Amino acid sequence: MIKIALTGGIGCGKSTVCNFFTQLNVPVIDTDIISRELVQAHQPALIEIVDYFGSDILLTDGSLNRKLLANKIFKHEQHRQHLESILHPKIRQSVKEKLSTLNCCYAIVAIPLLLETHQQNHYERVLLIDCSEQLQISRTHDRDQRNLNEIKAIIKSQASRQDRIAIADDIIDNSKSLSILESQIKKLHSMYLELCMNQSPT
């Protein structure tokens, strides 16, 4: 099985691309979804987060106040690093377990912070979802209703567009219409299937 890491900056359309691959019956493992599952009420990871950040990080129903946590980690580098030390090993273990259950030609693992967490060498290919910073800003604003300064701070905290392009094996340009996006995905799907068939048996 070929493991393909899908990555891209905030607002580049990673979820949309993942949905298209899912429609093609390609297994997709989304680390953002895993991360959200790990911080559900009473989960061990959430307990560790509360121990470090304090109970004010919780909403009244006991769930994580994600917006408050995001503000804390963007203002303090050591807070971000500690949060990552809690979540990232658990996310990687979950991905490993999910991959071990698959019997397929290839699988997509969506990892927004692939380059930042130095995981690119763990995958056979890196697929980058790319668009301009202006599009990232407008899409994120429309989706999350964040202000411009917040969005720019997030983009600045992530790997640069140039650095992502440098490590990518394949690039999808998500700056045009959905039909053009779908066409690119179908071409890659065909290429990935061909790569699978051409692999030497082990």
DSSP per-residue codes, 31-52: HHHHHHHHTSTT-HHHHHHHHH
pLDDT at 202: 47
pLDDT at 150: 83
pLDDT at 201: 54
pLDDT block averages, 10 residues each, the chain of length 202: 96 96 97 94 93 92 88 84 93 96 96 93 97 93 85 88 96 96 98 88 50
The maximal CA–CA distance of the chain, rounded, in angstroms, is 55
Residue 182 burial by CB count (10 A; 0-12/13-18/19+): exposed, middle or buried? Answer: middle
Query: What is the pTM assigned to this prediction?
Result: 0.89
Token reading at 15: 């979820």
Domains parsed from the chain with CATH numbers: 1-27+105-197 (3.40.50.300), 34-101 (no CATH)
pLDDT at 71: 81
